[in-house]
A and B are shown apart, each in its own frame.
Chain A
Amino acid sequence: MKTVAGYSKQLRLNRGLGKVALYVGLTTVVVLLGFPLYWMFASAVQEEHAIFSFPPTMVPFRTFTLEPLYKVFFLERRPMARMLWNSLMVSVVSSTASVLLGLWGGYALSRFRFRGRALAGFLILLTQMLPGSLIIIPLYMILTDLKLSNSLWGLTLIYMSFNTPFSIWMLKGFVEGIPKDLEEQGLIDGCSRMGALARITLPLMVPGIVATFIFGFIAAWGEYVFALTLLDSVTEWTYAVGVASLKGEYMVTWNEIMSASFVSTLPVLLLFLFMQRYLLAGLTAGGVKG
């Protein structure tokens, strides 16, 4: 028969073992899931002969070089730096616009009960069912009518419309998290409804706005199909199109492709690392409350 002390010792041992298992398990999972990102980096900083050597270099200490990066940006005939700039502009403008639309729409859907509310909700969900390649052709025709074909402005408009439903959905969740009483208090104090929105609700929404902006930015930054189909001239391409086009060559220089890929990953990775608190809050506010 075990004593009380014996039980608690056993319990502590179990807990300790559980903890070790947790760390071992989690570390294994993180190494496995994180490996592609590591491999992208490792392949990006090696010379061509090192890339195609056997066995592959797992840790590029001795073969480290930034030559592939230099080649991509300065020796390629494609203006990769220009494309980075294009991507940046399109992503910033389109996600700013969709945050604005999302704020209005999300506020309306969460604070008001009105006729047509369910319809608006279904319309937003409907947009998530649209196969992208179905609407490329008509969108191309519409952009031509608007004299916006082969232009980054046209692409910006499209990204804005793609991001708006998700923006509305996420910001709606955030508005719901802010007590209505606060605004009513503002109304009593003599604010107009817009004044109450601007002075009381908006400051509390900053985390939600940041999160929604980052979501839009990441989506626009990575988008490929529309940019590929709607932009003809190389100087108007976005970076995603430029990177993907590197692979179509007669010889696949994987170290250059990986360094170009890593450059496309780095901005969003840093954005995520610095803003992850907001991002997680964003997903959870929208996600849990639906």
Chain B
Amino acid sequence: MAKTTGQVEPLRGGPGGHRRLDLMPYGLLLPSMIVLAVLLLYPIARAFLTSLGRHVLFRPQATRAFIGLDNYAYILSDSRTWHSLYLAALYSVVVVGGSMLIGLATALAVRRPFRGRAFYRMAIIIPWVVPPVATSLVWSWMLDYQFGVVNHLLRAAHLISAPIGWLTTTQWAMPSMFLVGIWKMYPIASVMLLAGLQSIPDELYEAAKIDGANRFDGFRHVTLPGLKPVYGILALLLTLWSFKAFTYIYIMTGGGPSQATETAVVLVYLQAFKFFDFGVASALGIVMLLILVVFTIVYMKLVYGGVGPESRA
């Protein structure tokens, strides 16, 4: 497009800025939107259709394309469903809360310059790099009942007298999942909160000090409000991710012992690939998706008063 008149077309088409429709943003977004539509949205539609029929592998004679909402009626009347949704919610609340707290504490600790800061800042992010499978395996090994180092160290420190079945008792399995979930998730919180902290101008703290504020006041009235754009979106993303956390739980306990760690997404997987009931599995997956969509919309309305990229941050 040659510009011979010397007039520059504004890059950003403001209200009334363009008379004709600018096709460039659509062209740029088209490839990624096609990818998302084909590989993410179309599968949702197909899963929804599956959830309306009876599809059990190895029982092809029972297959029916359409049985209405029977699968939904079945899962909603099954206490196993409600238990799995409760566990997923509990896991999200504990892991997101714990990750945000540790993330904030570590971010605050490395905010100001000091000797060796670069090392510590790097070291606190490392758990994020360890691949999920390796994470699950090393924690399985550390939490092993008989030879695990955790039981050994706790006994050596006289904190416990007998080894604890961290992954094999209903009482401890879920707390162990919380521990691993937080260990893996707090680094993201730490990095993003640190970025938020560094975007708060020092003048605000000085002004607060002149007004007679102590450090706690400064934290409450300068730090927390200044961090709001970060922890607003951070809490949402972490919640979405942890509600669907699968790999750690699946590898470490497989949902057991006796369903103690069977969160919703684990149950979806088991329904599909252990009981091969694709209809029921899809129905539960759709219910999960609906819960997260409603949660996100309500959250966005409450925190930002809208939905979409404009309203973020």
Contacts and interface: CB of A to CB of B under 8 A. Distances in A.
Do A and B bind? yes
Given A104-B31, A284-B194, 14 more contacts: A33-B124, A37-B126, A52-B147, A104-B28, A104-B29, A131-B268, A133-B265, A138-B44, A161-B39, A172-B309, A180-B11, A244-B251, A247-B251, A264-B134
Nearest to A223: B132
Contacts of B246: 132-133, 225
Interface in B137-166: 137-142, 144, 147, 149, 152, 156
A137 B282 contact: yes
A228 to B, nearest CB: 9
A22 B132 contact: no
A265 interface: yes
A142 interface: yes
A29 B124 contact: yes
Interface of A: 19, 22-23, 25-26, 29-30, 33-34, 36-37, 39-40, 43, 51-52, 54-56, 101-102, 104-105, 107-109, 111-114, 116-139, 141-142, 157-158, 160-161, 164-165, 168, 172, 180, 183-184, 187-188, 190, 192-193, 218, 221-225, 229, 240, 243-244, 247, 254, 257-258, 261-262, 264-265, 268-269, 272-273, 276, 280, 283-284, 287-290
Given A118-B309, A288-B199, A264 B131 contact: yes
A131 B133 contact: no
Interface stretch (B62-70, B93-101, B234-242): B234-242
B312 interface: yes
B296 interface: yes
Given A22-B109, A29-B106, A120 B33 contact: yes
B202 interface: no
Contacts of A135: 40, 43-44, 47, 285
A161 B292 CA distance: 20
Contact of A134 (B230, B247, B286): B286
A260 B106 CA distance: 30
Given A56-B149, A187-B9, A268-B131, A243 B137 contact: yes
19 contacts: A29-B106, A29-B109, A37-B130, A112-B13, A121-B312, A130-B289, A131-B292, A133-B281, A137-B47, A158-B39, A161-B39, A184-B11, A188-B6, A222-B132, A258-B138, A272-B125, A276-B122, A284-B192, A287-B230
A164 B25 contact: no
A114 B310 CA distance: 12
Contact of B32 (A40, A104, A276): A104
B86 to A, nearest CB: 16
A64 B88 CA distance: 41
A225 B46 CA distance: 19
A165 B42 CA distance: 16
B199 to A, nearest CB: 6
Contacts of B309: 109, 117-118, 120-121, 172, 290
B44 to A, nearest CB: 7
Contacts of B282: 134, 137
Interface in B82-140: 106, 109-110, 114, 116, 120, 122-127, 129-140
A131 B265 contact: yes
Contacts of A130: 40, 44, 244, 289
A186 to B, nearest CB: 10
A132 B240 CA distance: 12
B196 interface: yes
Contacts of B191: 280, 283-284, 287
B244 A132 contact: yes
A135 B144 CA distance: 33
B36 A142 contact: no
Nearest to B135: A36
A62 B288 CA distance: 51
> Does more than half of chain A's interface fall in helix, strand or loop, or is it mixed?
helix
Nearest to A190: B3
B289 A138 contact: no
Given A101-B35, A128-B241, A268-B129, A56 B183 contact: no
B60 interface: no
B109 A112 contact: no
Q: Which 9 A-B pairs have the closest CB atoms?
A: A134-B285, A290-B313, A284-B195, A121-B309, A118-B308, A222-B131, A138-B46, A161-B39, A261-B134
A19 B268 contact: no
A167 to B, nearest CB: 8
Q: Determine which residue in A101, A112, A129, A188 has the highest number of CB atoms from chain B within 10 A of its CB, and name it.
A: A129
B36 A134 contact: no
Contact of A288 (B24, B140, B310, B313): B313
Nearest to A286: B192
A105 B28 contact: yes
A61 to B, nearest CB: 17
B244 A247 contact: no
B132 A224 contact: yes
B272 interface: yes
